Chain A
Amino acid sequence: MSEERDIAPDRKARGIALLLEQTARLVYDEKQPRALHAVQWSALRYLERAGAKSRNVAGLAKYLGVTSGPASRTAASLVSRGLAEVMDSPTDSRTKIINLTDAGHAALEHDPLNRCARIVHELGDDELSTLALALNKLHSRLSKPSDD
């Protein structure tokens, strides 16, 4: 009995960790072959949010945490789908910026994160506040090098 009590907190923590991982997977549960990948959704969100001086491949790379090659390919995949377009920068004619097209803006109305966000929004204030602080702490710790 005492042994079970000793291991219970660890088991519960592992259960919560697994639930977090499974919850994240559920967000992108789209099975259609033409469905956008998670990284493409991330790029669309970036292009909607970034300002004119950072809406380029270098900015997208920093947003995604990748090098310029993968960022460039992600941007190109959005352009080929008609969701984004490359244009001369209004602030610096030597550089290019990436803008969302009308189709890109329309796609974001169906962002798979929206469903999850709506469910989170339904939580009570206390639940929401506790979840926010707990997730922030968890993310902050996980993004630092492991002590293991």
Chain B
Amino acid sequence: MKSVLIIEDDISVAEAVSFVLERNGFRTTRVETGAAAAALLKSQHFCGALVDVWLGEEDGLDVLASLRAQGNTLPVVVMSGGGPGHTLESVSARADVLDACAVLFKPFTDEELLDAVNRSCPDAGCAAD
């Protein structure tokens, strides 16, 4: 079963995303901060991750940049609804620069979510530990 890490501080969004993915055969793990994600990625294997840009005090793209700077090449899908200092245009550009597989603009459909995750984690052999 493919395992996806969801980095999202809005519990309702995290639950909704998790529900859709699990109903479609993924195993999901939810964390609310970049630090929690970084710690988990050191000890567990994931096939991919979904990261929200607006993580309270944190910038999800800074979290992704930090992972990339450490050599982490995990396939990542970025989610954003925009916000102060985060036009969706700049979010898209930064996500592309940081090798995100896809950017989902909120609100998105279940099909768009599944398509983005399936495209980012195409390896059927990828599975959780």
Contact = CB atoms under 8 A, between A and B. Distances in A.
Interface in A41-81: 42, 45-46, 49-54, 59, 62-65
A65 B88 CA distance: 7
Contact of A62 (B82, B97, B103, B104): B82
A25 interface: no
A45 B82 CA distance: 16
A28 B68 CA distance: 31
A16 B93 CA distance: 20
A36 to B, nearest CB: 15
B62 interface: yes
Given A46-B89, A62-B87, A65-B87, A135 B97 contact: yes
Interface residues of B, number: 27
A108 to B, nearest CB: 14
B55 interface: no
Contacts of A45: 89
Nearest to A128: B97
Nearest to B69: A133
Given A64-B87, A140-B61, A59 B105 contact: yes
A50 B105 contact: yes
Give the interface SS of chain A, mostly helix, strand, loop or mixed.
Answer: helix
Contacts of B65: 133, 136-137, 140
Contacts of A12: none
A22 interface: no
A41 B65 CA distance: 27
A118 interface: no
Interface in A125-148: 132-133, 135-137, 139-140, 143-144
B89 A143 contact: no
Contacts of B28: none
Nearest to A132: B97
Contacts of A136: 61, 65, 94, 97-98
Q: Which of B61, B68, B87, B98 has the most CB of A within 10 A?
A: B87
A62 B94 contact: no
B25 interface: no
Given A132-B98, A133-B68, A140-B65, A65 B105 contact: no
**Those 3 A-B pairs whose CB atoms lie nearest each other, nearest first:** A65-B87, A62-B82, A63-B88
Given A62-B87, A133-B69, A136-B98, 5 more contacts: A51-B105, A53-B109, A63-B105, A64-B87, A91-B109
Interface of A: 42, 45-46, 49-54, 59, 62-65, 91, 132-133, 135-137, 139-140, 143-144
